[in-house]
Amino acid sequence: MKRAPRALRALVTTTTALAVIAAPAAATAAPEEADRAGLQRRLDDVVATGAVGVLAEVRDEHGVWRGTSGVAELGKTREVPTRGRFRAGSITKTFVATVALQLVDEGRLRLEDTVEAWLPGVVPDGDRITVRQLLNHTSGLYDYKDTLTVPPKPEFLDNRWRTWTSTELVRRALANPPTFEPPGSAYAYSNTGYLLLGQIVEEATDRSYGEQIERRIIRPLRLRGTSLPGTFPLIPGPHPHGYVPIQQDGEMDLVDFTVMNPSLFGAGGEMISTTTDLNRFVAALLGGRLLPIDLLEEMRTPGVEDGMYGLGLAWRDTSCGVRVYGNDGDALAYQSWSYSTPDRSRQVTVALTPDFRGDPDDAVDAFLDKAFCG
C-alpha cells in the first residue's frame, strides 16, 4: 500500500545508464565529513514525533552506517534490530514493475498492450487501458483499498487472517466507477492496477509474479532478507513489532498487527525486506543491472506532466537540490522509504513502526535530507 503523507494511513547497466539518469550537479556534492551523530539525532526525532521504533541504513562515500531508535516492541526494552525485517509495502511495486519491464525487454509484453488483450473480460473497457497506465497510475481504476474497512474501526481486525485473492479485490474495485476518464488523462494512485499487473505477469510467463521476482531479482542479487510471503502471516527472523490504532470501548488502543495474512496487499505491497536488501536492489536497478538504458528512461518518465512517479519508480527532491530515486511504502503497521542518488554514491533506506501519536513524515524528510545533503 502507498504511504499517505500527512495523514493517518488508511490502507493501505553501465556507465551510460548512469548518464541517462543523470542528476543535477548538486547530487554529486557530498559532506566532507561523516556526521553520524547527526543522523542518529534525526532518527531519535522520528521516534519522538510518532514511531515506536525506526531503523535505517545509509551508504555513502564514508562507508555504511546503520542506526536505530526506539524499541522493537511496546512495553519492552529490546532495541530495534539493526538488520531487522519489515513489511515494505508499496516498494513491492518497484519490484513488480521491474519484472514487467524485463518482460518488455524480452518481447513477451508491450507497454501499449491493453488489459483486455491479457485479461479478457476482466476490466470494463479494458481495451482502453494499457500496461503503461497500470504501471504509472494513470488508468483511472478505483483503488480497492477504499472499499475495505480500515483502522481505527474495530471491524478491521475481523479480516486479519482472511485470505484475499487478487480477483476478489479487483472485483471490489471495479464495482465502483473510474476515478477519472479517459484513461491516461490524469494521475490517481491505484493499488488495483498492480494487482492486475501481477495477473498479467502470470499470464505472460505461466508463473506467479512472486516466483518471477524471486527468480529474476531476489536470487541474482542475493537479497537474503527479502521474501514474498503470499498468505504466510509471520515475519521471519529478527524484526520490530508493528501496530495499528483501533477504537475500543471509547478509547484508542494500539493493537499488535505484526502477524497477519499479507494477501491483503498482494502485488501492490506484500513484500518483506531489510534496509540492506532494499539499498542493494535500488543500486542494482539504477546501475543498469536489471534493465537496459531505454527502459530505465521509461521507468523514470512521469505519467503526467510535472509528476514524480514513473513506471513503478518514484523520485523526490531534497532540500539541497539532490533528486533521488526509489519508492516508499505503507503496510499499515510498517512504513518505509528507500532512495538513491542516480550515481549510487549515496543510498538511504529507513523503516519505522508508527505509533500514531503524531505524523513522523517531517522527521523522516529531515533524516533523508541529512543523509543525502549532510
CB neighbourhood size of 24 (10 A): 13
CA distance 135 to 267: 12
Is beta strand 51-60 parallel, antiparallel or unpaired with respect to 347-354? Answer: antiparallel
Q: What angle do CA 274, 67, 332 make, to 5 degrees?
A: 50
Torsion of CA 354, 276, 72, 363, to 10 degrees: -40
- Tell me if residue 44 falls in helix, strand or coil: helix
- Catalytic residue flag (residue 90): yes
- For residues 280 and 78, the answer to whether their CB atoms sit within 8 Å is no
Return the ∠ at Cα 55 (arms to 251 and 347), rounded to 5°. 135
Hey, is 91 helix, strand or coil?
A: helix
What is the distance, to the nearest Å, from the Cα of residue 217 to the centroid of all Cα atoms in its chain?
16
In angstroms, the Cα distances linking 287 to 15, 224, 351, 361 are 8, 20, 23, 28
Catalytic-role residue among 90, 139, 166, 338:
90
Residues in the chain: 374
Are 196 and 134 within 8 A, CB to CB? yes
CA–CA gap between residue 50 and residue 292 (Å, rounded): 40
Sort strands 243-248 and 86-87 into parallel, antiparallel or unpaired: unpaired
Closest Cα partner for 194 from 126, 142, 145, 135?
Answer: 135
The residues annotated with a catalytic role in the active site are: 90
